[in-house]
Amino acid sequence: MNVPIKQYAKLLGGYLKPQQGRVALFAVALLISIGLQVLSPQILGYFIDTSLAGASGQVLFVAALLFIGAAFLTQLLSVISTYLGENVAWTATNALRADIVEHCIQLDLSFYKLRTSGELLERVDGDVNVLSRFFSQLAIHTLGNGILLVGILVALFFENWLAGVSLTLFSLFALMILLSLHSFAVAPWTTYLQVSAEFFGFIGEHLVGREDIRANGAVSYVMRRFHQILQRWLPVYQKARFTSTILWSTSVGLFTIGNAIALGVSAYLWNQNAITIGSAYLIFHYTNLLNQPIERIREELEELQQVEASIHRIRELLQVQSHLSTGGDRILSQSALSVSCEQVWFSYQLAQQTASNSYLTPQEWTLQDISFYLPAGQVLGLLGRTGSGKTTLARLLLRFYDAQLGCIRLGNVAIAQTSLTTLRQRVGLVTQDVQLFQASVRDNLTFFDSTIPDTQIRQTLELLGLGTWLRSLPEDLDTQLDSNSGGLSAGQAQLLTFARVFLKNPGLVILDEASSRLDPVTEHLIEQAVDRLLNRCTGIIIAHRLQTVQRADQILILDRGRILEYGDRQSLLNNPHSHFSQLLKTGTTDFLV
């Protein structure tokens, strides 16, 4: 796997173009430093020859000052170029990180079904970190060392043509050997990075579930998996490092040959009286100086192995396209929205493109031929056993996935004809799983929307019975919350998610058994709040407990992805043979077939 040069150029151009000024200063500092590295040995050679010729102390003193000044200036320029390079790298890689994160957030849920969070973290952070040297040093230093190499060879030709020819041939031979060894080392580093991503995904997943792991006595199993991954990781790393070691040992051997050539040529020319002692020193010094650009180029090529692997993985990620279209420009009503499902079919296998429509069995369709109509302002009670398709239907209403067949309409607008942003502004979702962010109370409730006034936030919290809690906080709405709901009871955390929906003021709200985890007092507060919320919008209540659908106008019962029963709640209640009526009598959904 080799990344074409044009892809390097595209990557460099896209993220370095906004920093043209700093990149130019970086290049200038680097080029001047290269010039001084070629010039400094000339001063030293002059010092040796003039001292042997009996020059005055003043001349030698001036030469020494020039040499010290050049060395000091070289170090100063090195510091400046390093500073500029690191700034360029951080700016470029942070922009790349932002692009990757934004891209991932916009992908549909089928993408996340196939990847762990740890793997994505490795792509966003690990691979981008590898690219930081590519932006700051690799590209320009490779070019810079190439210029230094040419400058040294030109200087050697000025000293003596035989030395110039000999060491030019040696340099070409050394570079040819190193370049030929480079390509075979890329694949092991690609494999190493992939295993690294899997390892970090494993660690992230099991750290999140550490309580369940310990409570169920699964620590030994997790540790066994941990050691299995490490045992797989080590040989992959060893193979990758072995390829790098081959490059290193080859370069050491080549430098030894180069020194032998320099000593041999210098001895021959000295015996022929073709050069002075100063020139002999310059040939040997320049040969040693040749080691620096060749070694740096070798190091850059070794780094380039990992860079190529990272670029390939990043481009692979950026080329993943969401299965969802961005939608159209139809506007949804600002009032309560009606909901219409027309012969909707959906399969997760098709959503992940792991099967074709014609090869699916009835059991592989998560939803089959779902049709119902919920007028604006009414409430639908959605019942069914676990796995019957209730949550999947909610995901389709929010366009986390698109149905393979059929159509879903909000108002008179097909959800694919309005933008995803508009759709998700007008549909609210509250689930049992509470996700809070490490941010202020205000930002957690508004999702960082600064247009929502504080007075509206406080009124909503008072409405939900959280006014006393808010006043107890040390910094009011600016108080920072933990991402794991630390310091909050389950009831308070759940009430905060309801506050989000109130502030959003949607036309349709979906409640996925959102009060099932609450104590009776808090649940009573939620019930009051839900009544107020459903007075101004359409509601769908996904219920596992029958008492939660007492406010529903319609009842829809799903079983294995199909509609088992649908109709007006009161009519179903009055029909002793209806499934809903029997559910109320038994108080359970276990009899559903």
Tens digits of residue pLDDT in 560-580: 889 999 999 899 888 888 888
pTM of the model: 0.64
One-letter amino acid at 13 equals G
What is the full DSSP assignment across 227-241? Answer: HHHHHHHHHHHHHHH
Q: What is the 3-state secondary structure (H, E, C) of 332-381?
A: CCCCCCCEEEEEEEECHHHHCCCCCHHHCCHHHCCEEEEEEEECCCCEEE
Best CA proximity match to 351, nearest among 559, 116, 107, 103: 107
Give the full edge-to-edge strand order of the sheet including 367-374. Answer: 367-374, 339-346, 405-410, 413-414
Pairing between β-strand 538-542 and β-strand 379-384 as defined by DSSP bridges: parallel
> What residue ranges define each of the domains in the chain, with the CATH number in brackets?
5-318 (1.20.1560.10), 339-432+508-586 (3.40.50.300)
CA dihedral 545, 549, 551, 557 (to 10 degrees): -170
Q: Along the 593 residues of the chain, how does pLDDT read in single tens digits?
A: 455 566 666 766 777 778 778 878 887 887 888 788 777 777 777 777 777 777 677 777 887 888 888 888 888 888 888 788 778 878 888 888 888 888 887 777 777 776 766 667 777 777 777 777 666 666 566 777 777 888 888 888 887 788 878 888 888 887 777 767 666 666 777 778 778 777 877 777 777 677 777 766 778 878 888 888 888 888 888 888 887 787 777 777 877 887 788 778 888 887 877 777 777 777 777 777 777 777 777 667 667 766 777 777 777 788 777 777 777 888 888 888 999 999 999 988 887 765 556 567 777 788 999 999 999 989 999 988 888 888 899 989 988 888 889 999 998 899 988 888 888 889 988 887 777 777 888 888 888 888 888 999 898 888 888 888 888 888 888 888 876 655 677 778 888 888 888 888 889 999 886 655 566 777 777 777 778 778 878 999 987 667 778 888 999 999 888 999 999 989 988 888 888 888 887 765 544 44
SS3 label, residue 138: helix
SS3 label, residue 198: helix
* Alpha helix (H) residue ranges in 414-513: 420-426, 441-446, 454-463, 467-471, 490-504
Best CA proximity match to 343, nearest among 373, 365, 371: 371
Distance CA 108, CA 351 (A): 9
SS3 label, residue 182: helix
Best CA proximity match to 203, nearest among 174, 236, 225: 225
SS3 label, residue 588: coil
Best CA proximity match to 445, nearest among 409, 421, 469: 469
Q: Are 294 and 251 in contact (CB under 8 A)?
A: yes
One-letter amino acid at 136 equals S
Helix, strand, coil in percent for the chain, rounding step 5 = 65, 10, 25
What token pair was written down for 590?
Answer: 């276990």
What token pair was written down for 445?
Answer: 């409730």
